[in-house]
Amino acid sequence: MATLSAVITGGTKGIGLALVQRFAAAGFQVLTCARSLVGFEAIQTQYPSGQIKALATDMSKPEEVAAFAAFVLAEVGNPSVLINNTGVFLPGTILGEPAGNLELMINTNVYSAYHLTRALVPAMLTAGSGHIFNICSTASLVAYPNGGSYCISKFALLGMTKVLREELKTSGLRVTAVMPGATLTSSWDGVDLPEDRFMPPADVAELIWQVYSLSPLTVVEELVLRPQLGDIS
C-alpha cells in the first residue's frame, strides 16, 4: 500500500505546525513550507528520517508557489491531503490601512491557495480520491472592526472553497472550508489576554484530522470553531 501523504503550507508554527504533527503522528509523509525554516529541524528530528520534509517558500510569490508544487510532485506524486494553511493578518480599516495591505493579503491568503491547488489537484484526480482543506476564518463569515483587507481576503478564500467543492464533488475529492475563531498563534502576539481565552492549535488540527477520517461517502463542507467564550472583538 502506498504511503499516504499530506501537503500542509505554513507548517512551522501555529495551526500549521499542529497539523504537521498530527498527520505525521498518523504515519503520513508530510511536506510543508514556510518563509523561514529556522528551528524547524528540531521538529523533523522527532519523527523517522525523511517523514517530514520542508522547503523554504514565500507563498505570496507565484514563482515560489510553483517551486513548492514541483517539490511536492517530485516527492510524493499525488498527495492524499492538501491543506492550504498559509496566511497573514495585518489589522487596519479599508480607508486607514497602509497601501499594499490588500495586495499582500490577497497574494498570501488567496492566490497561494489558488495556484497551489491548481498545480496539485490534477495529480490528485488521477487517484480519484483525496481531501482539500482551506483554512479560512470566522472572518470569512462576519466582518469585524479593524479587519480591513484580512476580512476581504478570507471572504474570497471561502468563496473559492465553495466553487472548488462544486467543481470536484463528482471526482472523489472532498473539499472542506475550515473557519477557526481566535486560536493561540503568533497573530495574537502582544495582545493582553489570557491563554485560556483562545483555542489551542492542536484542537483545530485534531478536528481536521477527524473530518479527514470520515468515510469517503461523507464530506464536512464547512467547519466553524470558536473559543468557548465566543469571538474576541
Name the catalytic one among 111, 114, 150, 212.
150
* Contact indicator for 207, 220 with CB cutoff of 8 Å: no
Q: Is 212 a catalytic residue?
A: no
CA separation, residue 184 to residues 11, 67, 232 (Å) = 15, 30, 12
Task: Give Cα 120 distance to the centre of its chain.
Answer: 15
* Other beta carbons within 10 Å of 139: 22
User: Which residue from 75, 39, 78 is spatially nearest to 56, judged by alpha carbons?
Assistant: 39
Strands (E), 57-210: 81-84, 130-135, 173-180
Residues with a catalytic annotation lie at 150
